[in-house]
Each structure stands twice: as structure tokens, then as C-alpha cells.
Chain A
Amino acid sequence: MSVKTIVLHMNRVEGDLEVHVDVADGVVVDAWCKGTMYRGFEKILVGRGPLDGLVITPRICGICSTSHLLAAARALDDVFDVEPPPDAHRVRNVTLMTETVQSDIRHTVLMFAADLVNPAHRSDPHFEEAVRRFEPFRGESVVEVIRETKKILEIVAILGGQWPHSSFMVPGGIVSVPSSADLQRCLWLLRSFQSWYERQILGCSLERFAQIESVAELHAWLDESPRHQNSDFGFLLRAMRSMRLDEIGAGPGNYLSVGSLEMPNDTRIKAVQDSHFLEPAGFAQGTEVEAFEQESIREHVAHSWFMDYPGGRHPFDGETRPYATGAEGSKYSWAKAPRYADRVVETGPLAEAVMSGQSLIRDMLSQGPNAMVRQIARIIRPVRLIPAMYAWLEEARGDGHYYVKPKPLQNGRGFGLCHAPRGSLGHWVEITDGAISHYQIVTPTAWNASPRDSENRRGAMEEALIGTPVKEVDNPIDVYHVVRSFDPCLVCTVHTLRKPLNREWNGAA
């Protein structure tokens, strides 16, 4: 058996991710996910004031800015032992949910669906329609999504008082108090987004879609109306099945959700099984859910370019000491390898749907996980989030109570957890003598695109790639589908305007 190694510089992911796969007899037999850039935000934060993480960490990522802000604020809530007022939770939640629903649609239509127009699918009966809808810069759905998802982020600007990279969350609540008019404007923006999402993406109302509880009911829904079949979701469903995305990308089958969106007091929204979160925390093997304990998180560095330590360490005890030489071959990524209870886990919308008890997704998983169900969980997540966004915007009081002043503190430590659009995110912070003495960040893509751990177990995405068919080594389309279904994002980094080497430049304008 001959083995060929393919190096994929993944586009539409981030410049920082390389995927190497070994291919034998037309399938992937091994895989390595390589984070190629050292971040070092944890080192930047050490020695700074306790609140500096609220300004610096939102700049870790241009897409998940609000997620990092919320995780940093929750960590400081914990350090200062202060509980924000219910309306502060409502506003924090709504801004995070805005970022999430926008990202879900943009990723699906602009990034994931772009692979459906890959020439490898030219013979598929859905190809021409995929091009009409999803061709980059030209597709009808692409243009619609760019226009519509631009508007809803205005909610973050209104509630946060600043955009981009807002820092309006602080320990004890938020500092940008919305007026009644602000809240009304947000509701109008949400209605506008919902109307478009129902018409363009789903082809039906949120209420109708939420009634679908099984694969059989999904098929019946698809056949029910041309509007369902011809919506972007309806088309994606047909195209993904035709292109066999339901046969690739299984992954480890373990799912993790750290819990997100604190339930405020006196809300009309009901949490699953009286959870403190709208999106419950949990660990699942398949669809069997167990309680989540943050103490069970460990980060391994055996195959990461950091100073070695045996086994894994909890983020409170973890180190970020870059070490790039002396172990070439065994170390291959700037990402650490997080593990939960000594297990390789996947995080993201699919994991969250499992913990939320979403019947349709759990029924789909009964046939085994795959790239298609992972993406479906993402594109239908707004069905679950939008009703709660309405409730919390309507329940919040204009010019109300949004902040509790914490007591001064010199020493302490805490953690903040939430769901970024790509999955579970955690910040762990320790304050000593009034300054940050320790900071650790575990991102969703660190979970999903982790390298091997100290037991030499592959990360979730590496595992999902095993067995993926490769018909063309120069264009391994199924590998692209699998990687894309995790929506990896290894930190937004350098955006210097670079002139391509093959482009002539004739001097200044």
C-alpha cells in the first residue's frame, strides 16, 4: 500500500491552519491539524490590570469579539464574586446571540456552501443551482446574506455603544445602559432579520420549523411545499445528501458544551431541565448526556510547540511557554490539545444541540455523526435562539438597573465560560497583588482542531478525517467538506494589504 501525504493550506478558514493528510487506496488514513501561528495573548495579559482582558481579548478575533468579551467578563464576575443584575444578563446574552446567528448564516452560505460549487461536483445534478446560489461574490444567496447579515450586527453596536471590538461588559454587569428607544430599535432589527431568515434560509416560519422532531418529519417537511424545497436550507439538504456529505466526517462521537446564556430571573423563557443556561452544559458520548465539570478540563502540549509537561494540566495550572525547537517531527502545532475527562471531544453547534435535547439532531445522530448533520445544526441554531432574543429584549427595561459595583480586590481567581459561534470558549484568570498573574484561554478551535495529546490520540477534526475518500489528490473535496463542517477559525491575525507576487505595480497613484 503506497501512502501519499497531502498538505492543504485551508482557505476560507484562516491563514493559520494547515491540514496534512496521508492517503492510501483512495482514503485518508491519518491526519494532522497544524496551527501555524503563535498567539501569545495569555503572555500579553500577565502583569496588566485586572480589567485589561476586557479590552485586549475582544481583539483576539474579529468575528468572535463579543464571545471573548463575555468570557472575560464572566471570569471577572467570578473573581470579584459579583452577580450582574438580570437585565445585564439579558443584554449580554442578546449581543452574544446576535454575533452567533450572524456567524451561523455567513459560515453556511459564504464558506461551507462555497465548496458545493467546487468543480469536483460538476456532474452532480445540483451543481448548476449551487453555482447560481453560492458562487463567491456572485451567487444570489451570497449577495443576500452579505446584505442582510450586515444589518443585524447593529444590535451589538446599539447595546454595546461601540463597534467593532466593544468592551461594554464589566464585572458586575454592563456600562452601556440602553434606553427604551434603543431596545425598540433592536427589536425592529431582529424582526427584520427573522423575516428574512424565514423567507430566504428556512422557507417557513420559526414555529413551523421547530415542530420538526425527526428525520422522517424533516423529509415530510421538505415534500410539503416548494417554498421548503427551494429555500437555501431545503436546497442545501438536497445537495448535501446528493453529494454524500452524510457519509463523511464522523469525528470522535464525544460532545462538549460548557453552557452559555445565563438565564435571567423572571424570564418567560424556559430552560431545558431547569438549567441555569439557555444552552445547557454537558458532556455526551453519542447522545447520552452527563454533567459537565470545568475541573475536568486538561490541556496537553506533548505535540504542541510549548515547553513540555507530563500529561495534561487544568487551565488554572497551565503554562504558555513557547518552545519551537528540539522536537521537530513530534511537535507540530501552536494549538494546545484540550481534553475533557481524558477524552477527545467535539464542540460547536452540534454539541449544543445534543445538550439542548434537540430531537431532530438527536434523531439524525442515531444514524451516526457526519459533516452534514454538523452543518445542519449550525444553520438551524437561530430557530432556537431568536425567540429568546425577543423575550430578553422585550423584558429588559430601558434606563434600568444594569450594574452592581464589585468590592475592591487584590487577589483572587475565576473562570468564565460561554459559547462562541464555533463552540465552547473559556477564560481562566488569576489576580495577584492587583494585577493579572495568570491567564489561560481555551478556544473552540483548540478543542476541534487540536493536535495529538500526550497519549498520542488525534484531535476531533483529525479523527473526523480518517476514512474520508480522496478521489483527486489535487482537489480533495471531501476533506474540504469535513474540515469546513467544524468551521475552524484559528485567530484573526495579520490583515496587511499584500500585493500578490505575480501582480505588476506601477508606483503610487
Chain B
Amino acid sequence: MSWTVESKPVRCRVLCLGNRYVAEDAFGPQVHDVLQDWGMPDGVELVDGGIAGLNLLHCFDHVKQVIVVDALKGFGTAGKLLELSPEQAIFEEDQPLGHGTGLPTLLRLMELSCESDIPSVTIVGVEVPADEQSVKETARRVLFMLGSDVGMTIPPEGK
């Protein structure tokens, strides 16, 4: 990701979260890698957010839309693709404001620290464990969501 040195206007960010070296948590980075291969439309910035926690707050600044991709646990059967609103994702974390800060805390703090109008946020994820098909299905869902916003053509099945 290029932050602040981006010269083209960014209207939307796709923020993929997780630790690519921990199998259960690697879902977000895996979706990131698929999307990077497929390519993103103009005005969309793809971010491998890794495990940066609070240090990702700036990703919510100065954009209209943020799509967060993350592994889900406890929301349904394994492999199920879900879209959540911030309200559905903000739970009271066991570890508020700590080194282990997760997405619920990040979303709460985003509302306190955003330096622009608060963007529209959608969380897209799959109940883990997720297989390769789920990763691609999620990537296609992200592109579908972007397509409705920026006129992106969705890659065909099988790509």
C-alpha cells in the first residue's frame, strides 16, 4: 500500500486483514493476493493491512467507501460468505485498546478519529476454515461490490 504518497484520488479502499503466517487468520491476505493478481479499477486502493491494528485507522480517511475483508468465526457454517455492517461487527472486545486490538475496536475508533466524512464500511468475510474456492468467491464479491460503484467489469468464473 502507498499511504500519503498516492497521487491519484482514491475513492474506495479494500482493506484485507490478517496474519498470512497463521493458517486460520490468513484469509484476508489470501483474498488480497487474488485481487492483486486480478487488478483493481482506478480510484480503488488495495491494502494488505496485515496485523497492523490501530495503525490502520488512516485507511478510513478521505474515502467514500471501505470494504474490509477478514476471517470470521462464530457467524455461521465453515466456508459461508457473509457481508456485515459495522453495527453487526462491533462487539465489546475482551481487549479494548490493546496490542491485540481487533476489527471491532478499529471500527469504534475510526468513528472517533476519522479526518473526513465517515466512509461507508462493509465487512466481507468467510467463516473459517476457508478453502481456495471461498477465497476466490470473496474476491469476486468484492469486485461485484466495487463494480456497482465504479463501473468495474467482474472477472468471469474460473479466472
The answer, yes or no, to whether A498 is at the interface (CB within 8 Å) is yes
8 A Cβ contacts from A94-113 to B: 106, 110-111
Which chain A residue has the least Cβ–Cβ distance from B53? A62
Whole-angstrom distance between the alpha carbons of A62 and B95 in the complex? 15
Q: Does B108 contact A (CB under 8 A)?
A: yes
A206 at the interface (CB under 8 A from B): no
A493 touches B22 (CB 8 A): yes
A-side interface mostly = loop
- Tell me whether B92 and A162 are in contact (CB under 8 A): no
Bound-state CA distance A106–B75 (Å) is: 32
**Which listed residue (B5, B54, B96, B128) contacts A136, Cβ 8 A?**
B96
Residues on A with C-beta less than 8 A from B133 are none
Q: Are B4 and A497 in contact (CB under 8 A)?
A: no
The residues of A that contact B103 with a CB separation of less than 8 Å are: 495, 497
Find out whether the CB atom of A56 lies under 8 angstroms from the CB atom of B21: yes
Interface presence of A501 (CB below 8 A): yes
Is A492 a contact partner of B19 (Cβ separation < 8 A)?
Answer: yes
* Most chain B beta carbons < 10 A, residue from A9, A62, A157: A62
With a CB–CB cut-off of 8 A, which chain B residues contact A33?
none
Would you call A509 and B85 a contact (CB within 8 A)? yes
B71 and A497 contact, CB distance less than 8 A:
yes
Which of A41, A44, A161, A165 is in CB contact (< 8 Å) with B5?
Answer: A161
Partner-contacting stretch, out of B34-42, B44-52, B148-156 = B44-52
Known A-B contacts A499-B74, A509-B83; A492 and B57 likewise in contact (beta carbons under 8 Å): no
Q: When chains A and B are docked, how far (Å) is the Cα of A61 from the Cα of B91?
A: 24
Most buried by B among A65, A153, A497: A497
| A14 interface contact, C-beta 8 A | yes
CB-based contact A62/B4 at 8 Å? no
- In the complex, whether A462 has a CB less than 8 A from a CB of chain B is no
Instruction: Using known A-B contacts A158-B4, A497-B104, A508-B83, determine if residue A59 contacts B21 with beta carbons closer than 8 Å.
Output: yes
State A106–B101 Cα separation when bound (angstroms).
12
Q: How far is the CB of B102 from the nearest CB of chain A, in Å?
A: 5
Chain A's nearest CB lies how many Å from the CB of B86? Answer: 10
Q: Does A391 contact B (CB under 8 A)?
A: no
Question: Inside 8 A of A509's CB, which chain B residues have their CB?
Answer: 82-85, 88
Asked if A494 is at the interface (CB within 8 A of a chain B CB), the reply is yes
Q: From A9, A61, A136, give the contact of B51 (CB < 8 A).
A: A61
Q: Which residues of A contact B94 (CB under 8 A)?
A: 9, 11, 15
Question: Residues 106-122 of chain A: 1 if any B CB is under 8 Å from the residue's CB, otherwise 0?
Answer: 10001100100000000
Q: Are A496 and B24 in contact (CB under 8 A)?
A: yes
Which stretch (A19-27, A140-148, A236-244) binds chain B? A140-148
**Which of B's residues lie within 8 Å of A, judged by CB?**
1-5, 17-22, 24-25, 48-58, 70-76, 82-85, 88-89, 91-92, 94-100, 102-104, 108-109, 112-113, 123, 125, 128
Chain A to chain B contacts (Cβ below 8 Å), 5 pairs? A15-B100, A61-B51, A154-B3, A495-B102, A497-B72
